Chain A
Amino acid sequence: MKSDKKRIGVFVCHCGINIAGTVNIPEVVKRLKEQADVIEVIDHQYCCSDPGQNLIKETIKEKKLDSVVVACCSPTLHEPTFRKTVSSVGINPYNCEIANIREQCSWVTDDKEKATDKATKIIKTIIKKVEHDEPLTPITIPVTRKALVIGAGVAGIQTALDIATAGYPVILLDKNPSIGGHMSQLSETFPTLDCSQCILTPKMVEAKQHPNITLMTYSEIESISGYLGNFKVKVRQKAKYVDWDKCTGCDVCVDKCPKKTPDEFNHGLTQRKAIYKMFPQAVPNRVVIDAPNCLYLEKGACRLCEKHCPFGAIKFDDQDQITELEVGALVMATGYELLDKQMLGSYGFGKLKNVVDGLQFERILSASGPFMGEVKRPSDGKIPEKVVFVQCAGSRDPENAMAYCSKICCMYTAKQAILYKHRVHHGEPIIFYIDVRTGGKGFEEFYKRATDEGVLYIRGKVSKIFEKGDKVIVWGADTLTGKKIEVEADLVVLSTAMKPAATKEFAQLLKLTQDEYGWFTEAHPKLRPVETLAGGFFLAGACQGPKDIPEAVAQSSGAASKVIGLFTSDTLEHLPVIAGVNEDMCSGCGICIDVCPYKARELVTTEDGKKRTVKVIEVLCEGCGACSAACPVGAAQQKNFKDQQIQDMVKGGLE
Chain B
Amino acid sequence: MLELIESLQEIKKDIELLSGQTLSDCYQCGECTAGCPTAFAMEPVPSQAIRLLQLGKFNEVLNSTGIWLCASCNVCGERCPRGVDYGKIADALRTIVLRNKLTHLTLEKIDKQFISDAPQQAFIAAFRKYTT
User: What is A's interface to B at a CB cutoff of 8 Å?
Assistant: 428, 430, 448, 451-452, 454, 456, 458-459, 478, 480-481, 483-487
Contact = CB atoms under 8 A, between A and B. Distances in A.
B48 A451 contact: no
A23 B119 CA distance: 87
10 closest Cβ contacts across the A-B interface?
A: A486-B1, A451-B24, A480-B51, A483-B2, A481-B51, A480-B28, A485-B2, A487-B4, A485-B4, A481-B52
A410 to B, nearest CB: 13
Nearest to B56: A456
A451 B84 CA distance: 14
A428 to B, nearest CB: 7
A484 B5 CA distance: 13
B43 to A, nearest CB: 12
16 contacts: A428-B5, A448-B25, A451-B24, A452-B22, A454-B24, A456-B55, A480-B28, A480-B47, A480-B48, A480-B51, A481-B55, A484-B2, A485-B1, A485-B2, A486-B2, A486-B4
Nearest to A451: B24
A579 to B, nearest CB: 62
A428 B55 CA distance: 12
B74 interface: no
Contacts of A452: 22, 24-25
B54 A456 contact: yes
A398 B68 CA distance: 46
A486 B55 CA distance: 12
Interface in B53-102: 54-55, 57
B51 A478 contact: yes
Given A478-B51, A478-B55, A484 B24 contact: no
A451 B25 contact: yes
Given A451-B25, A454-B24, A459-B28, A481 B48 contact: yes
A458 B51 CA distance: 10
Nearest to A482: B48
Interface in B1-55: 1-5, 22, 24-25, 27-28, 47-48, 51-52, 54-55
B44 to A, nearest CB: 8
Contacts of A458: 55
Nearest to A453: B24
A483 B56 CA distance: 12
Contacts of B57: 481, 483
B60 to A, nearest CB: 9
Among A452, A458, A483, the most chain B Cβ lie within 10 Å of the Cβ of: A483
A454 B56 CA distance: 13
Contacts of A484: 1-2
Nearest to B3: A486
Given A454-B24, A459-B28, A478-B55, A430 B48 contact: no
Contacts of A454: 24
Interface residues of B, number: 17
A430 B22 CA distance: 18
A413 to B, nearest CB: 16
B7 to A, nearest CB: 12
Among A454, A480, A481, A483, the most chain B Cβ lie within 10 Å of the Cβ of: A481
A487 B2 CA distance: 9
A481 B51 CA distance: 7
Contacts of A459: 28
Nearest to A480: B51
Nearest to A455: B24
Contacts of A483: 2, 55, 57
A598 B81 CA distance: 58
Given A452-B25, A478-B51, A485-B55, 17 more contacts: A428-B5, A430-B4, A448-B25, A451-B24, A452-B22, A452-B24, A456-B24, A456-B55, A458-B55, A459-B28, A480-B28, A480-B47, A481-B48, A481-B52, A483-B57, A484-B1, A486-B1
Contacts of A486: 1-4
Nearest to B50: A480
Nearest to A388: B4
A458 B57 CA distance: 14
Contacts of A428: 5
A451 B55 CA distance: 13
A448 B26 CA distance: 10
Contacts of B55: 456, 458, 478, 481, 483, 485
A530 B1 CA distance: 50
A452 B84 CA distance: 13
Contacts of B51: 478, 480-481
A456 B2 CA distance: 15
Contacts of B3: 486
A443 B5 CA distance: 28
A1 to B, nearest CB: 74
B16 to A, nearest CB: 13
Nearest to B27: A451
Contacts of B47: 480
Contacts of B27: 451
A428 B6 CA distance: 13
A485 B24 CA distance: 18
A524 to B, nearest CB: 36
Nearest to A488: B4
Contacts of A456: 24, 54-55
Among A430, A451, A459, A485, the most chain B Cβ lie within 10 Å of the Cβ of: A451
Nearest to B30: A480
A165 B47 CA distance: 55
A293 B111 CA distance: 91
Contacts of A480: 28, 47-48, 51
Contacts of A487: 4
A473 B52 CA distance: 22
A611 to B, nearest CB: 79
A490 to B, nearest CB: 14
B54 to A, nearest CB: 7
B92 to A, nearest CB: 20
A478 B47 CA distance: 13
A481 B57 CA distance: 11
A525 to B, nearest CB: 31
A487 to B, nearest CB: 5
Nearest to B52: A481
A478 B3 CA distance: 12
Nearest to A458: B55
A459 B51 CA distance: 10
Among A459, A478, A487, the most chain B Cβ lie within 10 Å of the Cβ of: A478
Contacts of B5: 428
